[in-house]
Structure 1
Amino acid sequence: MQAFTKARTGDTPDEIWVLEHPPVFTLGLAGDAGNLHSPSNQIPLVQVDRGGEITYHGPGQIVVYLLLDLRRLGIFVKELVSRIEQAVIDTLADFGIQAERHPGAPGIYVSEQPGVPPEWIGAKIAALGLKVSKGCSYHGLALNVATDLEAFKRIHPCGYEGLKTVDMQTLGIKDNIDTISQRLLQHLQKQLMPS
């Protein structure tokens, strides 16, 4: 991502990368390593150059890297964040999950709704962390589909002690991760790519 962004010119097409990571904790630029309160020999901690705090990435989680020329798209970072969040909200709605933003806390959280146990109301289901260099973004978002939620118990997710993290599977969604990835990509393209 760094090399791609550094080598970009005004003519370089935007790219969206969709992938899953092996288990890893990542710590953003403003992150406090103390938020990894229960280290694991099996899960490394990697310092990265995105914004945000600590999070976990692993199998069963859709990670989307957004390599976008914001000047060409005519949007600023705050609007980019809002559009990414809306794409995640719309994707979750397609699978029957109501979700919302929380002011001052980037990411997407489960809304109060019928069928969702009270312990999962307000739980974080998607994280967001970006880097902008020379008007171009990289890093992106992570949507928990069928993720190892135990790994999140080793950290204070996004720096918030006691923040619950949930995945779509726990909320009863059994769809294939590829199907969900495709739907998320469609919503991101709708939000971010000029028609």
Structure 2
Amino acid sequence: MNPVQNKKTRFIDIGLKDYQQAWDYQASLFEQILATKTANRDLPADAQQATDNYLVFCEHPHVFTLGKSGHEENLIIPKEELADVQATYYRVNRGGDITYHGPGQIVGYPVIDLENFFTDIHRYMRFMEEAVIQTLREYKIEAGRSPGQTGVWLDPDDAHRARKICALGVRTSRWVAMHGFAFNVNPDLRYFGYIVPCGIQDKAVTSLEKELGRKVDLEEVKQILKEKIRVQFDMEWL
């Protein structure tokens, strides 16, 4: 663990942001934390600096992203037709396969030093899922996990009804995490038809809007989700 453990976390909502711009932003935060850890190596324990933690929320214009373990054939729409649907495509260095981001979806990038909390990737993923599960419960929707598959699901135990409402993907280096989750609140679900979401052939995708039958206040959901994440990780907001 860090000699100086710091659970203070800065919450930043950058709004609707181009995927590359958001990528560059979270990468800069990620590299900043790594630089602090590198500098600390050469310092005695009582002189080391605490590392920072960030929780970044945003939305993206229509974009498909493929993780490093993903398969490009899961992008069903031909690349030359992406412009026709106002979408872009990126290969990225997170785990997982292909996913979609777009307006009406909360994309969360927790750029945190896990040594400030706990050094367990599995636990990190489960805590993020739990924050979304608890958020959905505020809307009287019971969600859970699907064995062997990351993310948050509705009716995960029913093969015919199981549907995914939140995808997760993470990358860590020296216990610093980046990437995160994509929570479907009011997105245009038609875009999931252009991919095999997360490489899973036989499961549907849903949204809070679809389940409730009405548009949901995105800002309201953000505030609930932000608090659920804080509780899960015992964070302190800066």
TM-score for both structures, normalised by structure 2: 0.76
- Give 5+ residue unaligned stretches, structure 2: 1-25, 38-49
**Distance between the aligned counterparts of 1:120 and 1:179, measured in 2?**
31
User: What corresponds to 1:3 in structure 2?
Assistant: 28
Counterpart of 2:208 in 1: which secondary structure? Answer: coil
Structure 2 contact 110–178 (Cα < 8 Å) conserved: yes
Provide the aligned length of Structure 1 versus Structure 2.
Answer: 190
Match of 1:171 among 194, 198, 211: 211
**Distance between the aligned counterparts of 2:201 and 2:121, measured in 1?**
27
Structure 1 contact 120–166 (Cα < 8 Å) conserved: no
Q: One-letter code of the match for 2:66?
A: L
Question: C-alpha displacement at 1:55, in angstroms?
Answer: 0.3
User: What corresponds to 1:124 in structure 2?
Assistant: 164
**Distance between the aligned counterparts of 1:74 and 1:168, measured in 2?**
31
Question: C-alpha displacement at 1:6, in angstroms?
Answer: 1.7
**Which is greater in Rg?**
2
| Structure 1 position 38 matched with structure 2 position 77 | yes
RMSD after superposition: 1.8
- Give 5+ residue unaligned stretches, structure 1: 113-117
Question: C-alpha displacement at 1:7, in angstroms?
Answer: 2.0
| Structure 1 position 88 matched with structure 2 position 88 | no
Structure 2 contact 119–175 (Cα < 8 Å) conserved: no
Question: C-alpha displacement at 1:175, in angstroms?
Answer: 2.7
Structure 1 contact 35–159 (Cα < 8 Å) conserved: yes
1:128-147 superposed matches below 5 A: 128-147=168-187
Larger fraction in helix: 2
Counterpart of 2:205 in 1: which secondary structure? Answer: coil
**Distance between the aligned counterparts of 1:194 and 1:177, measured in 2?**
22
Counterpart of 1:170 in 2: which secondary structure? Answer: helix
1:177-188 superposed matches below 5 A: 177-188=218-229
